Amino acid sequence: MRGRHLKASDVVNIVESPKVQVILRQKGVDKPSILERTAQRWLAGLGWQYGKTKNGMYVDGHERDDVVEYHHQFVSHWKEYERRFHKWDNDGNELPRPDGFPIPDPRF
C-alpha cells in the first residue's frame, strides 16, 4: 500500500497478517487467505473504484452539502475582498488602486 492508494493485493496481505488472523480466529473464522478477486469484490462493495487518481482540483467529496456551502461562503468572502485588490490589466499596466471603502472590524 502506497500513500492513499489501496490495491486488492493489499487487502489480501492485510487478511493474511498475524494480527487479523488472531481476530478472525476469535470470531470463529478459519481463513488464512483470500483470493485477490475476493478482495476486489469487497472493495467494489464498499464503493471503491479502480483507476488512477486524476489530476485536478477535486479528488473526493466536493459535492457534499457542507463542502458546497463552504465554497459558497468562500466565494462570497472572496468577492467582498476582491474589491480591495490591487490589480493590473492584461498588458501589465497598473489599474487604479481601490480607495474609500470601509474596512470591517475583524472582531465582529
Residue 100 lies in a domain: no
Kindly report the average pLDDT of the chain as a whole number. 83
Question: For the chain, what is the domain count?
Answer: 1
Mean pLDDT across 86-91: 90
Residue 20 lies in a domain: yes
pLDDT digit string, tens, across residues 27-75: 998 989 999 999 999 888 888 877 666 666 555 677 788 989 999 999 9
Cβ contacts of 68 within 8 Å, gap of 6 or more: 62
Structural domain boundaries, residue 41:
8-45
Residue 86 lies in a domain: no
Hunting for cell 466565494 — which residue is that?
75
Geometric angle at alpha carbon 98, from 95 and 101, rounded to 5°: 165
pLDDT at 108 over 70: no
Looking at per-residue confidence, does 71 or 105 come out higher?
71
pLDDT at 4 over 60: yes
Residue 82 lies in a domain: no
pLDDT at 14 over 80: yes
pTM: 0.44
Looking at per-residue confidence, does 55 or 76 come out higher?
76
Mean pLDDT across 87-98: 89
Geometric angle at alpha carbon 56, from 51 and 63, rounded to 5°: 85
Residue 12 lies in a domain: yes
What share of residues in the chain are helix, strand, coil (percent, to 5)?
A: 45, 5, 55
